[in-house]
Amino acid sequence: MNETINREDLYLFQTGKARQAYLTFGCHYQKKTKTHRFTVWAPNAKSVSVVGDFNFWNPLAHPMKGDKDGIYTIEIEGLKKGDLYKYHVEGYDGICRYKSDPFAFYAECRPDTASKVWDFDDFKWSDKRFINQRKKRQALDQPMSIYELHLGTWRMPQEEEREFYNYREIADMLIPYLGEMGYTHVELMPITEYPYDLSWGYQVTGYYGVTSRYGTPEDFNYMINELHKAGISVILDWVPAHFPRDEHGLAMFDGTHIYDHEDPRKGSQPDWGTLLFNYGKPEVQSFLISSAMFFADVYHIDGIRIDAVSAMLYLDFGKQEGEYVPNEDGTNINYEAVDFLRNLNEALRTTHEGFLTIAEESTAYPKVTSDVDDPEGLGFVYKWNMGYMHDTLYYMELDPLYRKDNHGAIIFSMDYAYSENYILPYSHDEVVHGKGSMINKMYGAYDEKFASLRTLYGFTMAHPGKKLLFMGGEFAQFVEWRDKEQLDWFLIDQYEMHDSFHKYVAKLNEIYKSEPALYELDQDPAGFEWCLQRDADHSVVAFIRKNKKGRGRKQQQILCVCNFTPMEWDKYKVPLPKKSKLTKILDSSELDFGGDGDVSESKVSTKRVKVPSEGKKAVYQQV
């Protein structure tokens, strides 16, 4: 066995239990010998060597020594931070390939693909208190309003010679904006290294390196630290479902399929042209779980959103009959992926208190957010509620005349709202590929579109579940997200309606965070009560949100009334559980938000009336 590697670390890696494999594999400076040690897993390779600008890319200069388990290692003198290197791998198939380091901490900017020798400097973090409060701050009974963004196109330099802003520059612009808008969390689309811009980061080749497009690892440290100092939690989009076929990446790393499956029915994802990880290999589990742990350990990330969980769970995802291999009991569930996800969530939960794991899972797979103590639970903290997103957008795209015939689309989400811990997402996926921007999805002319989107956002903010909105949606950008251009910020400065809408979203966040009734009981049916559920003819819904009861604490109740038509219903009556004094806290038709200001306090009253349809007395809110 190779004595440069701790026996226990090697055992953990080979049994799928390694949680910090990045400390063993990759390139590491050795203080005692003043060398850099390189370690790589290539079990079926005939030979492996380190090549780089320091040896003129000569495969004969620094051959690595391999053990019986295919762990190759070497120590090289005289290297410095930033030196370029790759592994020259003579594969089992006899083909020689130049491979990037799977555990590299940093790499060249595309189109170049070499890894870089990178020794982490002693960055001075100042977020200890923030990290220590993570468990309380990210508890299920706390507010969560997430701003999703793509770092490269949120804002872009106007100088022709610059493509992107640096992580530090982004931080200095982003943090005051998030504070102004009232967001609690920011979710970054993938920043792990990737070669193809138009994949948006979802085809990863470097699972341990932040992309060099926006700067260095130290620059990324700065951004995270500053966000934490400002009270903003950071979620990363993380992609353990599949990887690209790029020659320098994980594919055919040692001339065989060590990261994916040899059988293309198991190892290929035809919809994306990518390869699927083989979760049945313990080394692959160690590689991926250690990647997630790396970003929590080293970069102080507060959570990960796991992309394409359905593609992991289902063997036939995106495939036709005959294009996949059923499992041993003849069904389509990938039990190896289930095992991996449970192990991943358990590892993060037990080592980083309050750390969030969020599943983008588009089916009704059960118990996604049930704890791993449940033998069927996957262990995620939250799941994206894709059903809510699809139903509400479908409803809002309809001519209001026909919404009464589709009333179920706006109320159905409450039938399953407590089956999982949900996030209500209006994400990047909904504003690309011809789907239209959020504002353009709304039916009607200009003013009606804005009124409808204000209603939808207000409804969503009051609905049980945490919140997520993709950049541009907060000021009603009319064009879809363009992955080569920055957002249309000029709309806020030049068009009053966009400026007013921008203020409306900030006000929604302000109210949401200040009213515990809107978030404390998101996972408890006791926090929600329908007042009007089935008034399809008027396309109106009304419900009450409640906070937790407690000793010496009065229960707060917030009434939400949503009219999903442009019609004004004069003297409309809303049944309430008891007569109460009502104080208006938000009206989406206010002039400041771009509305017509037609609903005033004088038009709102509470009185006891007789309800003929029920034959009993009730308290009604009349508006």
- Indicate the residue among 95, 116, 137 that finishes a domain: 116
**pTM, whole model, 2 decimals?**
0.94
The two beta strands, 206-210 and 145-149, are unpaired
Tokens of 570: 């004069």
Domain contains 546: yes
Amino acid, single-letter form, for residue 384? W
Domain contains 542: yes
Which of the residues 83, 360, 430, 520 is marked catalytic? 360
**Residue of 241, 299, 225 whose CA lies nearest to 275:** 241
The answer to whether residue 570 is catalytic is no
Cis peptide bond prior to 326, omega within 30° of 0:
no
- Indicate the residue among 75, 90, 116 that finishes a domain: 116
Whole-number pLDDT of residue 156? 97
**Residue of 134, 135, 146 whose CA lies nearest to 466:** 146
In residues, how long is the chain? Answer: 623
The 8-class DSSP code of residue 430 comes to: G
How far out from the chain centre does Cα 484 lie? 21
Whole-number pLDDT of residue 607? 55
- Rounded Cα–Cα distance for residues 185 and 181 (Å): 11
**Residue of 2, 81, 93 whose CA lies nearest to 44:** 93
Domain contains 91: yes
Domain contains 220: no
Counting as low any pLDDT under 70, the low residues of the chain are 1-5, 598-623
The answer to whether residue 360 is catalytic is yes
Whole-number pLDDT of residue 601? 56
Domain contains 139: no
Whole-number pLDDT of residue 613? 30
- Indicate the residue among 89, 116, 143 that finishes a domain: 116
Number of structural domains, the chain? 2
Domain contains 88: yes
The CATH number of residue 557's host domain is 2.60.40.1180
Domain that holds residue 537: 527-622
Domain contains 172: no
Dihedral sign, Cα of residue 150, residue 140, residue 511, residue 230 = negative
**CB neighbours of residue 145 within 10 Å:** 21
Which of the residues 193, 237, 307, 391 is marked catalytic? 307
The CATH number of residue 88's host domain is 2.60.40.10
Domain contains 203: no
**Residue of 399, 548, 527 whose CA lies nearest to 463:** 527
Whole-number pLDDT of residue 609? 40
